[in-house]
């Protein structure tokens, strides 16, 4: 029987909450986030992966820290994934960068004019997002891509603060997969968004309109299958399906239609 790591200690959880709450900007939040060590199991895993490495990346220095969001803090379209991949984001230090899921996602974003390049391979590759920010509810790579519920909850203050800071300019949030969807709903509710009850179910293409209790903001939550290797290999999610949902989301977010796949923005 293996010893279990606690997801986090009470003191670490309190420190996470305080550090996230103290961030007055997304840049400050990202800077604080990358020093987080609240989850012992995930800290051990991300660092072990970074030390052992995959043979193909043996010459690289892995990031091996929490991976912050990527893209403008005022982007009208926010895409929320799951967690960094062990040899993707955990290696490169940037969300959906250097792994097969990122290849699929960035090809679609570029096709829609939402990324300047069709691939995302390294932090310094020059790729930029256009009107899009990508983030995730768990910022450290988990074993088997499966964070525990306790780890998800431990990371929640970072996402809650990020959404509070970006909320005034966010028009659409795309949740990549049921995990992101289910994680987002309570965070959005806590951040003052009126989330229907019973909570809306995740589905590919599902769409929920959310008003902020302040009456000043409105956003839409859109569901999309995660571009994981399994979903793509089984054709649960095809490039066309991904482009259709992202294109619709971009149109709803008011982003100008450019790129070869701009005609995917048929619903507004
Ligand atoms: Fe910190 Fe989140 Fe990483 Fe846990 S998963 S160590 S809370 S950044």
Is 148 inside a domain boundary?
Answer: yes
> Residues with Cβ < 8 Å from 4, sequence gap 6 or more?
none
Instruction: Give the Cα separation of 117 and 135 in Å (integer).
Output: 19
- Alpha-carbon dihedral angle through residues 77, 115, 23, 47, given to the nearest 10 degrees: 120
Determine which residue's CA is closest to atom 4 belonging to ligand 1.
39
Burial 113-122 (b: 16+ CB within 10 A, else e): bbbeeeebbe
Task: Tell me the pLDDT tens digit for each residue of 39-74.
Answer: 999 999 999 999 999 999 999 999 999 999 999 999
What is the per-residue pLDDT across 173-223, written as a single tens digit (0 to 9) for each?
A: 999 999 999 999 999 998 889 999 999 999 999 999 999 998 988 999 999
Task: Please tell me the total count of domains within the chain.
Answer: 1
Is-contact 176 226, C-beta < 8 A? yes
Q: In testing the pocket of ligand 1, which one of 18, 38, 45, 82 has its CB within 8 Å of the most ligand atoms?
A: 38
**CA–CA separation, 34 and 147 (whole Å):** 18
Question: Going by C-beta distance under 8 Å and a sequence separation of 6 or more, which residues neighbour residue 189?
Answer: 195
Sign of the CA dihedral 212, 218, 219, 220?
positive
**Is 37's C-beta closer than 6 angstroms to any atom of ligand 1?**
yes
- Closest residue CA from atom 3 of ligand 1: 140
pLDDT in tens, 140-156: 999 999 999 999 999 99
Give the number of the atom of ligand 1 that is nearest the alpha carbon of residue 46: 3
From 251, 194, 198, 197, select the one nearest 222 (Cα to Cα).
251
Give the model confidence (pLDDT) of 64-118 as tens digits. 999 999 999 999 999 999 999 999 999 999 999 999 999 999 999 999 999 999 9
Residue 16 resides in a domain? yes
DSSP for residue 181: H
Nearest CA to ligand 1 atom 2: 155
Residue 45 CB burial class (10 angstroms; 0-12, 13-18, ≥19): buried
Q: Where are the alpha helices (DSSP H) in 24-148?
A: 26-33, 40-52, 89-92, 100-111
In which domain, by residue range, is 145 found? 10-264
Residue 3 lies in a domain: no
The answer to the question of residue 37 being in a domain is yes
Q: Is residue 4 part of a domain?
A: no
161: Cβ contacts below 8 Å, ≥ 6 apart: 20, 21, 23, 29
What does the pLDDT read at residue 260?
66
- pTM confidence score: 0.93
Q: Are 67 and 140 in contact (CB under 8 A)?
A: yes
At 227, which CATH number? 3.40.470.10
For residue 219, the cross-strand partners are 210
Query: Exposure pattern of 46-69 as b/e (b: 16+ CB <10 Å)?
Result: bbebbeebeeeeeeeebbbbbbbb
Residue 154 lies in a domain: yes
Does residue 215 form part of some domain?
Answer: yes
Q: Is residue 124 part of a domain?
A: yes
């Amino acid at each position: 029987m293996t010893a279990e790591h606690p997801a986090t200690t009470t003191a670490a959880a309190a420190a996470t909450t305080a550090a996230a709450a103290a961030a007055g900007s997304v840049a400050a939040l990202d800077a604080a986030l990358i020093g987080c060590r609240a989850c012992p199991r995930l800290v051990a895993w991300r660092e072990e992966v970074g030390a052992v490495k995959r043979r193909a990346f043996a010459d690289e220095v892995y990031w091996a820290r929490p991976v912050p969001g990527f893209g403008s803090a005022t982007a009208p379209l926010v895409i929320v994934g799951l967690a960094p991949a062990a040899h993707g984001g955990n290696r490169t230090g940037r969300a959906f960068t250097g792994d097969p899921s990122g290849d699929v996602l960035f090809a679609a974003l570029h096709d829609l004019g939402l990324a300047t390049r069709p691939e995302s391979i390294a932090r310094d590759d020059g790729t930029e997002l256009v009107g899009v920010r990508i983030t995730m509810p768990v910022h450290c790579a988990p074993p088997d891509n499966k964070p525990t519920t306790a780890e998800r909850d431990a990371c929640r203050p970072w996402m809650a603060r990020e959404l509070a800071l970006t909320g005034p300019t966010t028009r659409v949030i795309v949740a990549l997969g049921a995990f992101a969807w289910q994680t987002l709903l309570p965070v959005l509710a806590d951040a003052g968004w009126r989330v229907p009850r019973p909570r809306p179910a995740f589905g590919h293409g599902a769409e929920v309109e959310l008003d902020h209790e302040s009456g000043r903001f409105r956003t839409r939550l859109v569901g999309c299958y995660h571009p994981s290797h399994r979903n793509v290999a089984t054709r649960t999610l095809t490039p066309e399906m991904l482009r259709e949902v992202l294109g619709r989301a971009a149109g709803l977010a008011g982003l100008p239609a450019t790129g070869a796949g701009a005609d995917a923005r048929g619903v507004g």
